[in-house]
Structure 1
Amino acid sequence: MKEILREIGMIARALDSISNVEFKEIELTKGQYLYLVRIGENPGIIQEKLAEMIKVDRTTAARAIKQLEMKGFIERKDDDRNKKIKKLYLTEKGEELFPIIKRENEHSNQVALAGLSEHDAEALFDLLQKVRKNVEVDWEFVKKGNKRTY
């Protein structure tokens, strides 16, 4: 069988490395741009949902969110109904970076999909979504402290 996951991993690591280098000058490091863009796309998201969306554990998400908050890119606001719930929003400083990150994402998509027809790109997207959904089942299972059998 082809090493599909190895290829996906190499693509992800290469794009992550590029972003980390390019975003260093705007004080974003080690994938923090992922958090910033997801908060920008989902204003008022809670930390747990954000961690789930990015597929990281709560501790990793908490650390990244704290750093972004300390740098002034995001802020936490109390929920109107439940003061224990803290919603995440971009600050003015974060809002300024949001379009830059979005442009980088669009550029990376164009580069990655160069030479593919629109039909091929759609097919690839659909297939990758299926793969992600398959992996999410194990991710949820392991996240709850279980061990996979292989």
Structure 2
Amino acid sequence: MIRLKNQILREAGMLARCIQSISDIKFREIKLQRGQFVFLTRICERPGINLIDLSNILKVDKATTTKAIQKLMEEDYVVKERDRSDKRMWHLFPSAKAKEIYPFIITEENRNIEICFKGFSPEEEQAVYSLLKRMRENIEQDWKELKFYKENNG
């Protein structure tokens, strides 16, 4: 029988799901549905970003981004503006409502970080960050190749 070489991705997945679940409960009161806060924070941090760049930053497909943006627009969190030179391109901006709740979202994100790193030294925190970043960079190339293949081969 083939055995899993390492539990790291399962641990990372469980960590992500715990944080997602906590965030979903916390952000329900501000009418943010499952995972929408990640889209909203990136738009607040990069006003004017387009759908393609947002999808690439978050490592999701364009359909997922489009659906999330539509819901954020319905809740008056995001404003979409057409590009002046390329009429096919849309830019995304945080609304006044989004700018108002952004500090609350980041405070919650910082709270999750503090809980995750409870008992860690600053050096351990930096090591975790560096190692996870390297792992992401390693897998990102494979993700880009698969994404390119899917986009060009249906």
Q: TM-score, normalised by structure 2?
A: 0.90
Gapped runs of 5+ residues in structure 2? none
Sequence identity (%): 35
**How big is each residue's C-alpha offset from its partner over 1:32-58, in whole Å with a ceiling of 9 and x where there is no partner?**
000000000111110110011111100
- Which SS does the other structure have where 1:89 is aligned? strand
Residue among 10, 16, 22 paired with 1:12: 16
What is the match of residue 51 of structure 1?
55
1:82 and 1:63 mapped to 2: Cα distance?
22
Q: Does 1:42 align with 2:43?
A: no
2:144 and 2:86 mapped to 1: Cα distance?
27
CA drift at 1:143: 1.4
Q: Does 1:103 align with 2:107?
A: yes
2:63 and 2:88 mapped to 1: Cα distance?
18
CA drift at 1:80: 3.8
- Which SS does the other structure have where 2:81 is aligned? strand
CA drift at 1:91: 0.4
1:145 and 1:83 mapped to 2: Cα distance?
27
Q: Does 1:116 align with 2:120?
A: yes
Backbone CA RMSD of aligned residues:
1.2
Number of residue pairs matched?
146
CA drift at 1:135: 1.3
Letter in 2 for 1:61: T
Letter in 2 for 1:89: F
